[in-house]
Structure 1
């Protein structure tokens, strides 16, 4: 074969090889596409979010919440409350709960005006001091507000100090838990202002919130409370026990902004423990689509 013929033959062979390679590449690309493209009706596979991405952090946080709920024997993790409102609602005395001269006195109310699907947990007196309760509320990140009576907390101020260090606001529930309307103005003032002094000494703050024992009060109660630096006198719309819930309203239901009452109680006075009460409470509010929010965030 002449030199020119040999060159033509080599060129034709090279072109054939290139064509074969192109066909092979096309087939390989098609195979690759088939490997990643979903079959009809199927969703494409996606890589899991990176651990440090927002979605990854949310997934990790939710997994931790589910695990913590399981640890404390809750069927569902507590719902997350929305951010605290930038503009606080105006708090007024509940209709029918006013006293003469109410506009200048701390309002008594059972519900915070809000459209947020939240409720507020408040706990009274201080009789039971259960370490498991502190641990449970910290683990589950459930906010609550305490109203303390000195005659019940004075044997262990430190227990409530631990509570305060975890972000719980400690408030005034009088020195000895009396029926306040049965006392003179001076007697009521001693009970309320005396507890303010104890709170200042033990916890470094004079509370802005006061709850009258049994929810009973008169004009002198609110006058005395104001003179001691009290701004609000929240009571409650529902009360939760270890085995049942009681309601103030006839509809026997939760409402946005409702204040829920319970007590520091244990087996000596209940048929269970404070963690048992929390389990009942959280099932009740979570099943109804409510989150527990921090009362002070709305005041």
Structure 2
């Protein structure tokens, strides 16, 4: 497992989320939309109907809206596709579907013990391992980029499992096309520095080259400047966060658990998953693990699903 900052404060109690998501607002918004519109646009006002005021006119408008039936059929279709994909890819169970993302992203503070000494009052990107939520969701993230397995792209697309990539240019520059295809499939490409160094050991200028240089590289190659940085090995200092902020980084997600093809490693004292936990893994293959990326996904999804969690998209919450 990657090493982590040495000043982390471990305790026998887990750091609790500070706020809950606005799931009720999402439900209300969806309900409102269903009441006001139909499949072909806004419905006419009642007075526009030639039957308005006639006996039985109100009864004729009762019953479920056609779009509700359409949504139900679509949900059945998607579930059937997930069942078929789980069988095809050899998953022990069908992955659980994540709930709709929140209407408003939660406030995410820096985790206790991960603060920078002497940075009180500075508005720096938060460093965290868990997103505040009460939903039974976790987030899957993949680092570096050395293994470029096309089966991974097909598997994750067919299973509809979201994940986030944190790229180091020295690992991906031999095949940018692989990650362009990944991006087309809805994966966000984030910053993991140019060359994966131990950032606190570098000068400010060197850190700037590693962090902001990767920002520019990703923007040039993939058309979008990242908002998230994962420092290599989970190590950073005040210069890291200040430099990252200066070139567009909004948050620094680390991890609460790390996934391998044959086991999980845990940060928390209870050796378990919790709502909003971030899971780290890597783009690795047979040469590193004696296993494939698809083997990895089967293992991590067994753990996640057995524990009653769904995988959600990190960028919908951060």
Q: Do they superpose with TM above 0.5?
A: yes
1:188 to 207, 210, 217: 207
- TM-score, normalised to structure 2's length? 0.76
1:58 paired with 2:83, answer no
1:193-220 Cα deviation digits (max 9, x unpaired): 1001101110011100000000000111
1:215-234 superposed matches below 5 A:
215-234=234-253
Q: What RMSD over aligned residues (CA atoms) do the two structures have, in Å? A: 1.1
Structure 1 unaligned segments of length 5 or more: list them. Answer: 1-51
Shift of 1:164: 0.4
Q: Would the aligned equivalents of 1:106 and 1:231 in 2 still touch at CA under 8 Å?
A: yes
Between the aligned partners of 2:80 and 2:316, the Cα distance in structure 1 is 27
1:232-243 superposed matches below 5 A:
232-243=251-262
SS of alignment partner, residue 189 of structure 2: strand
Between the aligned partners of 2:76 and 2:230, the Cα distance in structure 1 is 40
Equivalent residue for 1:92? Answer: 109
2:167 to 148, 152, 165: 148
Shift of 1:63: 2.0
Q: Would the aligned equivalents of 2:85 and 2:158 in 1 still touch at CA under 8 Å?
A: yes
Shift of 1:271: 2.2
Q: Would the aligned equivalents of 1:243 and 1:271 in 2 still touch at CA under 8 Å?
A: no
- TM-score, normalised to structure 1's length? 0.81
1:72-111 superposed matches below 5 A:
72-99=89-116, 100-101=118-119, 103-111=122-130
SS of alignment partner, residue 268 of structure 1: helix
Instruction: Classify 1:192/1:290 alpha carbon distance in 2 versus 1 (closer, same or farther; 3 Å).
Output: same
Shift of 1:55: 4.2
Aligned length: 248
Q: Would the aligned equivalents of 1:120 and 1:260 in 2 still touch at CA under 8 Å?
A: yes
1:270 to 280, 289, 293: 289
Between the aligned partners of 1:204 and 1:76, the Cα distance in structure 2 is 37
1:150-197 Cα deviation digits (max 9, x unpaired): 000000001000000011000000000000000011110110010011
1:133 to 145, 148, 152: 152
Between the aligned partners of 2:191 and 2:251, the Cα distance in structure 1 is 11
